[in-house]
Structure 1
């Protein structure tokens, strides 16, 4: 056999071998069962279906090629390390971590299993990633930009409450809240409003925090971003304290106003990150995404219950009005 013919045959054999390897990998990709762990700082009821539905549309289905395990802290962040250890025992291929407390717990637990943030308030400042473009470790995912929206939110507060003098800023033990409070305090000072921080570490501490804000003469409450605490809007109404939220889901639960990113699409993005990682993507090289949709919502039922009249110019600004 000539050298030319020998080289041609060798290349064909190599090509056939490569095609066979690709085929075997594709079959393995479809046939193996993937384990996805979901660590939730708050409650999982609203977001789990969004993630599962998106994964199903991408070819992952429970009972066939997906095991989806959830652990939720229900706002008790001190429980997250133990919940994370439970998930690690299940040997997940990817971890989705909801909100900064869960992301921090997952980061402390593993430096090798890929972690998808969904979402993070300050991924760089929290030490989760080196940069948005190149995260550089085992963590990537979605940011929420809450800090960037604070000044505009307080401008809206002043339009609705032109005589507001004191703002109560409600926080939890979320590690991003001290920095977010400083942003809110400085933004309030620029428009002549004083701000004071009140901490409700756990959901059962909310009533005491509202009692304190009422006693200290707060006119309006600014609720920093946190996993949903469903009891919060009724407590705000009970204490007759108008409350403005960073998380827009609260207006559906009876919160007065909210301004922030559309939350549920961020969990759709998280599922897409999971898919990319399971198909071989390296989280160190998958850029962190930021939201593109923002919603200003007003609940007129709550405004009426509080005896408030929302100015027409503010209603025109709203993306969503609940009547």
Structure 2
């Protein structure tokens, strides 16, 4: 009798342990599901890096276990295309494309893998999506163009700084940049102001292109051009040396020495892109059904040191915040 009872208890406890082990194993498998995210970025500079930081933070905050395959083209478009091919071949679960050229390259490489972009100015013009409201296909994301940013910047240059001729250094081969320059030119026609263009192909051309504007312009506006922003210190040195006020397209460029920007934090648009990626990875939404988002906050940030260097008094009525 005692031996029989012992055997029954042994079987019971053994069965319980097996069930518990199966249960624990099942829970671990569910919670430890790992997603492979491919990341492509056209070049290294603070704004794009901040956007990637924001993206990763959103993934982390959602409890997503992610492994990143990160590749940077370092401004080389041929490398950009190779990176896109490599990420598709790696069979990643999702691709995060950080810049217009990066997004265009991966969108051309795959129509199957979900793509979420950020740091893109004109998603429709770049042929990444059918429309902002209904992207269609496998691509969606967040743009780095607030509808009021250029308008506010041009009004500030004219009304507050008395500018008439605005110098713009940009890579004409980057669709993102061409769209912004054209928008500025169209706007300035109505304001009796003009744009003086200086085109570059690589970051090595930036300083010489900026110097070519001296004597032709009374202000500058450096947009979110990856080639130029990656060599921004060259522009800043020329502008400051010649006492030319230089507005920029985003806050990181203000911190680096630009006079001011009407903008937003690239970390924020990266974070918002990450939130979209979470919905896609969890199969709550498809890229085709997630509208492209614009930046949520727009404000004026100024660099007091730069203002002092070029002899501009910061007025209280500008209601500006200041870079640290």
Q: TM-score, normalised by structure 2?
A: 0.82
Preserved CA contact (<8 Å) 2:146 2:295: no
Quote the residue 2:15 is aligned against. Answer: none
2:36 alignment partner in structure 1 = 35
Which residues in structure 2 correspond to 1:265-276 (within 5 Å)?
265-276=268-279
- Which residue in 1 is equivalent to 2:305? 301
Q: How far 1:147 moved relative to its partner?
A: 5.5
1:79-158 pair list within 5 angstroms:
79-146=79-146, 148-158=148-158
Q: Distance in 2 between matches of 1:130 and 1:269?
A: 20
- Give the CA RMSD over aligned residues: 2.4
Identify if the C-alpha distance between structure 1 residues 78 and 30 changes in structure 2 by more than 3 Å, giving closer, same or farther: same
In the alignment, is residue 260 of structure 1 matched against residue 263 of structure 2?
yes
C-alpha distance in 2 between matches for 1:112 and 1:25: 30
User: What is aligned with 1:222?
Assistant: 221
Question: CA offset at residue 218 of structure 1?
Answer: 1.3
TM-score, reference length from structure 1? 0.82
Structure 1, unpaired ranges of 5+: 1-23
Q: Which residue of 2 aligns with 1:9?
A: none
CA contact (8 A) 2:51 2:271 kept: no
Alignment-derived partner of residue 232 in structure 2: 232
Larger Rg: 2
Per chain length, whose mean CA-contact separation is higher, i.e. which structure has more relative contact order (CA < 8 Å, sep 6+)? 2
**Residue equivalent to 2:161:** 161
Change (3 A) 1:147 1:168: farther
Distance 1:27 1:131 in 2: 41
Change beyond 3 A, Cα 1:187–1:289: same
| CA distance in structure 2 between the aligned counterparts of 1:177 and 1:47, rounded to whole angstroms | 18
Q: 1:247 aligns with which of 242, 245, 250?
A: 250
Give ranges in structure 2 of 5+ residues lacking alignment.
1-24
1:86-123, Cα deviation, whole Å (9 max, x unpaired) = 32232211001112111111111111110001132122
Q: Distance in 2 between matches of 1:299 and 1:234?
A: 17
